[in-house]
Structure 1
Amino acid sequence: MATASTTAHTSTPPSTPDGAAMSHRQIMEALSGLLLGLFVAILSSTIVSNALPRILADIGGGQSAYTWVVTASLLAVTATTPIWGKLSDLFSKKLLIQLALVIYVLGSVVAGFSTGPGMLIGCRLVQGVGAGGLSALTQVIMAAMISPRERGRYSGYLGATFAVATVGGPLVGGVIVDSALGWRWCFYVGVPFAVIALVVLQKTLHLPVVRRKVTIDWAGAFFITAAVSLLMIWVSLAGQNYAWMSWQSFVMVPAAVLLGCVFLYVESRAEQPIVPLRLFRNKTITLTSLASLFVGVAMFAGTVFLSQYFQLARGRTPTMSGIMTIPLIGGLFVASTATGQIITRTGRWKAFLVAGGLLLTAGSATLGLIRYDTPYWEVAVYMALLGLGVGMMMQNLVLAVQNQVSTADLGAASSLVTFFRSLGGAVGVSALGAVLGNRVTHFVTDGLAALHVKAAAGDSGGIPDVATLPAPVRGVVESAYGHGIGDVFLYAAPFALLSFLLVVFVKEVALRTRSGLQQAAPGTATAKE
């Protein structure tokens, strides 16, 4: 091609049509904007997680609202991740990730004006649409630029960004909530970072623009969203608004299954399906996708319910709650960065998936033992185990899938893993949140009865402000949340065990040494962004 002679010059965009390998400097320049955008999304999310008890105490809402504020974003991520992934196979990846960042920021800004839980949940849906794009497209763009063999090294940077934003979010959020600024500034603080990310992406990310016929599978997008939404509504409301064995369940569950079957039928007939079903003929893709589903349950249980544990069971401030979760994030940081470097040097990755599954199971099971008065050092060890397990599995499951597919399917295949992880997290948080609500109500009722206090005096159905409760009642509420959250992790542990059993059967395939762009060359690239 005519442009081939320019590719040797270091000042030209690294992703030239002839597929020349990118230097470390070129990759890091391109990754800078990607990682900053991902940092903004994670920071905004984790800031909110630690502030939620205070937010809902201000605008109203109980455990159901708490769960839905979290799961609304996860639902949108789950429903839109496959769409973003497919769009990345058809449109400009750079334009798409910038659009995802803008959507996320707009949702965050409007969320800062929320006057009730309904408005906040709606804004979280918008945030989730943008977050789905950021999480899926970051993986896709990395796969296009970096070979599977080298990707472990750079996935470590991705894991480090995730860890820093995850630990920084609760700390920043706690400081903001405890300061004169108030909780609304939790939604505004990420805006300057987002603007910087947009500028950096524009200057540093250069990928070929592929011109080809575009067909969007809107029917598939509708049916997958409808199926997942109905399933989540049923899971979050059953046991609270109606019994598990009720007419509502007998209507909603079959309807969700029917919508799922229609989705599979639509995908089998679509010209450009959102989820190419042929990918599941590959055993590795099937096993890793299912493993991601169960990893999502354990992973999001840790990030969502531990903030409640420290604030409601141990009476800590939002700031201290963020500090006390550092062992979880430290484990994730160490595991993701160290395993990435080792995989790049050795090319071996399955052992880390298996070890991660064991640690994830151990962390979830041991966290099931916590109570409101468990010594902190024990809780810290359990959190570190969970973090190590997540760090070893999260990025390496994506790596295993990307190593199995052609360039044309990188977007769809990469988004599959994120889709199933988000689906597991969304359904898991909904179900476990319902379990927590029921267990806390049960323990509070029994505890107050033992004190000969009416239940209404200690529990109005909302998220309590523990600091304002009289001493005997406060002890009952703290004990109820400590025991209830421990039970949540016990329920999550079997799902972590399933993820371990699945990855045991994954066949290790040598990592390829050519990036997605190199595999595609000479391709159909006609312009650069």
Structure 2
Amino acid sequence: MNQRRGEAAPKTAESCADQPPTAAPAVAPPSRLAVLGLLLGIILATLDGTIVGTALPTIVGDLGGLDHLSWVVTAYLLTTAVSTPIWGKAGDLYGRKGSYLTSIAVFLVGSVLCGLAQDMGQLIAFRALQGLGAGGLFVGALSLLGTLLPPAQAGRSQSMIGVLLPVAMIGGPLLGGFLTDQLDWRWVFYVNVPVGAAALLIVGLCIRLRGERGPARIDFLGAALLTAGVLALTLIGTWAGTAYDWISPQIAGLAALSVAALGWFVHVERRAPEPIIPPRLFRDHNFTLAQVLSFLGGAAMLAAASYLPQYMQFVRGMSSTESGLLLLPLMLGMMGAQLFIGRAVAGGGGYRGYPIAGGAVATAGALALLMVGADTATAVASALTLVLGLGLGCLMQPAMLITMNSAEPRDMGAASGTTTLLRTIGGSLGVAVLGSVYTGRMAATLTDRLGRDGERLAGGHEVTPAVLLGLPDGVRDAFRAGVTGGLHSVMIGTAALCAVASAAAWLIREVPLRTAPGAPD
């Protein structure tokens, strides 16, 4: 059925998601406990992407396999990225609640197996399984919120999702380090079990959906092409500038594969009866702009969160835990902005001005960090991140609201999967591209000051904060200057991304948010 928004449809099990505005909604209003169950799934998905990092040295010491260490993280990110839109479409076809519960179960099985792994090969394989389940956690929670609540009321719940992202990004490494030090690295994975079990129980008992199953026509070719394209893009983000040069044959081949696969995917989706990512979504002007904001915001947020700790540790001499705590202003800025926007929109306020202002504030915040130097006080450097956090929060929260408001009920899962996928790809590519800029600037500074010795230190692979303390004063000063210069280059790139996002936000149209689930305003 290819129905326009607002047209009446027969009240059948297959068309229940497309009921007219006057029909009774097919869902019961969720309780706060039910919303908590959905948020727990997002906590699992986001936290597990960052919690493993601080445990990796201990894991290698126990299991060996140092040459495959990066794949412990990469395998998880790859399967999460490629499965996200597929889970979203599966929820649209087979039922969003059942799809969400299944993804939690797959994630928990993968978590337990990771904790039981006896060698690095097993751990990588089980991390891939865990990521497969994680792909459905975020998109499942978003699509269920979009089904249970109209966008006008979902603002507060979705602002909580925005709060969880920076909390997990910064809190994950802290929790991972604590569990590894106090218990065992395997508890980094076992800790998921009680949280996931609570989410399964709450969602299973407290959320009721009626008539959400649709006709099951799966776009297998589209799924395969999307998987190939996203895998190639993610590998580019992982390998480019590190394992291989940007202009190497390997990266060029991956880029060609990605372009070919995604181009063919677009062709297939236009003709598929039930496309993984329905092209009709992008006919909505606001939906397309929201995806642009998600992509750019994801790139800016992850780049800042990845390279600011480098400055804190190498230049200011902070530990990993301390560098995470010093990013609290960034996190609190994002949290405060998203909570404020959620409440303001729920109270009947508009949303168009927030991403415009947010992009401008984030641009100013990134440029303000250019004032940070090797001798800048730690408290000042930490406080300056607040402005960037406020801007990113104002930029990203409206993108989620616009996505939910622009998609029809039958496409809620696909829409959630699309915005999550683009945020993930944006973050991966943003870190890769800006990481190359960071490395290039640092290498230029070290080579200029130290000559051949600077070339050896340029990659930073042999230097840790502890090792840096034992180097001669001249080498330490040169390395700190290189890290500071690299951070400045990253912040210039971040400012450019945020400026483009602000410009794109001017094109958003202020369409009233729906005031009933599945009904236009």
Q: TM-score, normalised by structure 1?
A: 0.83
Tell me, in whole angstroms, the C-alpha distance in 2 between the residues paired with 1:72 and 1:327. 31
Residue identity matched to 1:264: V
Tell me, in whole angstroms, the C-alpha distance in 2 between the residues paired with 1:306 and 1:480. 14
Residue identity matched to 1:513: T
- Aligned pair partner of 2:210 in 208, 211, 218: 208
Could you tell me which residue of structure 1 aligns to residue 156 of structure 2?
153
Could you tell me which residue of structure 2 aligns to residue 48 of structure 1?
52
Could you tell me which residue of structure 2 aligns to residue 228 of structure 1?
230
Residue identity matched to 1:393: L
Identity among equivalent positions (%) equals 35
- Aligned pair partner of 2:413 in 411, 414, 437: 411
Whether 2:123 is the aligned partner of 1:98: answer no
Name the SS for the 1:89 alignment partner: helix
- Aligned pair partner of 1:35 in 36, 39, 42: 39
1:97-496 → structure 2 map (5 Å cutoff):
97-112=100-115, 123-177=126-180, 179-181=181-183, 183-240=185-242, 243-248=245-250, 250-449=252-451, 462=461, 464-469=463-468, 470-472=470-472, 473-496=475-498
Tell me, in whole angstroms, the C-alpha distance in 2 between the residues paired with 1:147 and 1:186. 36
Residue 236 of structure 1 contacts residue 431 of structure 1 at CA under 8 Å; is this kept in 2?
A: no
Tell me, in whole angstroms, the C-alpha distance in 1 between the residues paired with 2:166 and 2:471. 37
Q: Offset at 1:447? A: 4.6
- Aligned pair partner of 1:19 in 15, 22, 25: 25
Shift in CA distance, 388/119, structure 1 to aligned 2, threshold 3 Å: farther
Q: Offset at 1:343? A: 0.8
Tell me, in whole angstroms, the C-alpha distance in 2 between the residues paired with 1:239 and 1:380. 28
Name the SS for the 1:396 alignment partner: helix
Tell me, in whole angstroms, the C-alpha distance in 2 between the residues paired with 1:213 and 1:20. 17
Shift in CA distance, 333/438, structure 1 to aligned 2, threshold 3 Å: same
Tell me, in whole angstroms, the C-alpha distance in 2 between the residues paired with 1:475 and 1:51. 30
Q: Offset at 1:90? A: 1.0
Residue identity matched to 2:100: I
Could you tell me which residue of structure 1 aligns to residue 508 of structure 2?
506
Give CA deviations for 1:275-303 in whole Å, capped at 9, x if unaligned: 11122121111111122111111011123
Shift in CA distance, 463/156, structure 1 to aligned 2, threshold 3 Å: farther
Tell me, in whole angstroms, the C-alpha distance in 2 between the residues paired with 1:48 and 1:507. 41
Residue 53 of structure 1 contacts residue 463 of structure 1 at CA under 8 Å; is this kept in 2?
A: no
Tell me, in whole angstroms, the C-alpha distance in 1 between the residues paired with 2:277 and 2:94. 17
Q: Offset at 1:141? A: 0.5
Shift in CA distance, 124/360, structure 1 to aligned 2, threshold 3 Å: farther
Which of 1 and 2 has higher RCO (CA within 8 Å, sep 6+)? 1
Tell me, in whole angstroms, the C-alpha distance in 2 between the residues paired with 1:152 and 1:73. 30
Tell me, in whole angstroms, the C-alpha distance in 2 between the residues paired with 1:374 and 1:53. 31
Q: Offset at 1:422? A: 1.3
Residue identity matched to 2:98: L
Shift in CA distance, 103/245, structure 1 to aligned 2, threshold 3 Å: same
Comparing 105-114 and 92-101, the one that deviates more = 105-114
Tell me, in whole angstroms, the C-alpha distance in 2 between the residues paired with 1:278 and 1:404. 11
Give CA deviations for 1:400-436 in whole Å, capped at 9, x if unaligned: 1221232112221222222211111122223333444
Shift in CA distance, 284/319, structure 1 to aligned 2, threshold 3 Å: same
Name the SS for the 1:208 alignment partner: coil
Shift in CA distance, 266/332, structure 1 to aligned 2, threshold 3 Å: same
Residue 85 of structure 1 contacts residue 136 of structure 1 at CA under 8 Å; is this kept in 2?
A: yes
Shift in CA distance, 92/121, structure 1 to aligned 2, threshold 3 Å: same
Q: Offset at 1:226? A: 1.1
Q: Offset at 1:209? A: 4.6
Give CA deviations for 1:39-73 in whole Å, capped at 9, x if unaligned: 222233332355568877996869x966x665554
Comparing 163-172 and 148-157, the one that deviates more = 163-172
Q: TM-score, normalised by structure 2?
A: 0.84
Tell me, in whole angstroms, the C-alpha distance in 2 between the residues paired with 1:120 and 1:431. 28
In the alignment, structure 2 segments of 5+ residues that lack a partner are 1-9, 12-22
Q: Offset at 1:238? A: 4.2
- Aligned pair partner of 1:88 in 91, 97, 100: 91
Give CA deviations for 1:332-387 in whole Å, capped at 9, x if unaligned: 11111111001111231111121222222223333355444432233223321222
Tell me, in whole angstroms, the C-alpha distance in 2 between the residues paired with 1:197 and 1:21. 19
Tell me, in whole angstroms, the C-alpha distance in 1 between the residues paired with 2:182 and 2:158. 38
Comparing 199-208 and 290-299, the one that deviates more = 199-208
Q: How many residues align?
A: 496
Aligned-CA RMSD value: 3.4
Tell me, in whole angstroms, the C-alpha distance in 2 between the residues paired with 1:474 and 1:121. 36
Shift in CA distance, 454/442, structure 1 to aligned 2, threshold 3 Å: closer
Shift in CA distance, 345/461, structure 1 to aligned 2, threshold 3 Å: closer
Residue identity matched to 1:194: G
Tell me, in whole angstroms, the C-alpha distance in 2 between the residues paired with 1:464 and 1:446. 18
